[in-house]
Amino acid sequence: MTFRVENKFVISKNKVFEFKKWMKKNNYKILYPKRKINSVYFDNKNFTIYTDSLEGITPRKKIRLRTYSNNFLNINNKFNYEVKISSVEGRFKTSKIYETDIMKIFNGIYDKQYGMCYPVLNVIYEREYFSNNKSRITIDTNIKYFKIDGKRISKHSKVDKHFVVENKSKFAEQSTMLDQFIFENKRFSKYCSGIEKIQS
C-alpha cells in the first residue's frame, strides 16, 4: 500500500495560460496525450459518502467505475472499479478490472463501510498529464455532470466552468515545492461538486 500526497487547485479559465507558464518554468513536460475520462460514482441511499466527504470524516471512501469513452454504457468499454480511501495515515487508491455485465451496476455494489451503494452521478471530463522529476500534475477541463436516476443516466448535463489541477507525489517531503505555487490550494471533489449541481 503506497500513500501519496495530493494537492488540488481550482482555477478559472482566464488563469490557465499563467498556470502553464508556471509549469514550463518548473520543467513540467507532457506525460501522456490528453484523453476523456468517464466515471460513475456510487453512494448509499442516505448519501453518506457525500456527507462524509463534505465533513472531512476519516476513514472515508469514494467508489466509482471508470472508463475512457464518450458512452459509459457501451458494452465494449473496459472498466476499472476504483476505491479512493482517505484515512488518518494518508490517501491511497485501489483499482481492479470490472468484468461483470455493466448493466448490473444499477443493482448496486456492496461496501463494508457504506452498505449497498448505487450509481448516482456520471462525470465526464478531459484530462491532460504533465510531470517533472518531483511530481505529476493533471489538468481537468470541460467537466460535465449527469444525474443518474434509477437505471437511467440523464442526457442533460450541468457544466463546471473551473479547471481542476491536481498535484500528486509519493513522498510527503516533495510537496514543499508547492510553497512557490501561485494559486490557492483548495479542497475539491468532483463527486461533491457534481451532487450539488445536479440537485440545484
Nearest residue to 53 via CA among 191, 194, 165, 197: 191
pTM higher than 0.85: yes
Ranges of beta strands (E only) in the chain are: 5-11, 29-43, 60-67, 79-86, 91-98, 109-111, 115-131, 136-149, 152-160, 163-169
Question: Sign of torsion, CA 93 67 169 88?
Answer: negative
In Å, what is the CA distance from 170 to each residue of 4, 33, 86, 136, 159?
4, 22, 15, 10, 31
Per-residue pLDDT of the chain (200 residues; tens, 9 = 90+): 555 677 788 888 888 888 888 889 889 999 999 999 999 999 999 999 999 999 988 899 999 999 999 899 998 999 999 999 988 877 788 999 999 999 999 999 999 999 999 999 999 999 999 998 878 999 999 999 999 999 999 999 999 988 899 888 765 545 555 565 666 656 688 999 999 999 87
Looking up cell 472515508, which residue turns up?
A: 60
